[in-house]
Amino acid sequence: QVQLVETGGGEVRPGGSLRLSCEASGISSFNLYTTGWYRRAPGKQRELVARITVEGYLDDDDNVRGRFTSARDNRKKIVYLEMNDLKPEDTGVYYCKVGRFSDYWGQGTQVTVSS
């Protein structure tokens, strides 16, 4: 059974940084899965933040480019989201997703940016 566990969320002040991690289990050949981070802001639908393809290409949202970056360790089956210069509008629940023939989601981790 595939499980994704996100950690690293919390509350920070504007301009602060956080690093989210998503550890996968129950997946073989993790390198064949696309990985991604999504955010559900208060009152909004879940939206893509950053995604890494199987080929290693990074696809990220315009609003986070230059501030956020994602990386993956295929051997450890962990996906990271490094978030810098956080803004109040980055507040939300962040979800990890991995997908190949099916999509699998983590339970989400709360990020709150507030002064």
Residues 9-26: tens digit of each pLDDT: 999 999 999 999 999 999
Sign of CA dihedral 62, 72, 57, 33: negative
Per-residue pLDDT at 48: 95
First vs last Cα of the chain: how many Å apart?
Answer: 40
pLDDT in tens, 58-86: 888 888 889 999 999 999 999 999 999 99
Q: Starting at the edge strand that comes first in sequence, how are the strands of the sheet with 3-7 ordered?
A: 3-7, 18-25, 78-83, 68-73
Predicted confidence at residue 4, as pLDDT, reads: 97
Q: Token pair of 9, please? A: 């969320």
Per the prediction, the chain carries an average pLDDT of 94
- Supply the pLDDT for residue 68: 94
Predicted pLDDT of residue 54: 83
Look at residues 75, 67, 72 and name the one whose alpha carbon lies nearest to residue 17. 67
- Indicate the SS3 state at residue 98: strand
Reported confidence tier of residue 38, pLDDT bands at 50, 70, 90? very high
Best CA proximity match to 112, nearest among 14, 19, 12, 21: 12
State yes or no: pLDDT of 88 exceeds 90. Answer: yes
Residues 24 and 4 sit within 8 Å (Cβ to Cβ): yes
Query: Could you identify the residue written with the tokens 């559900």?
Result: 40
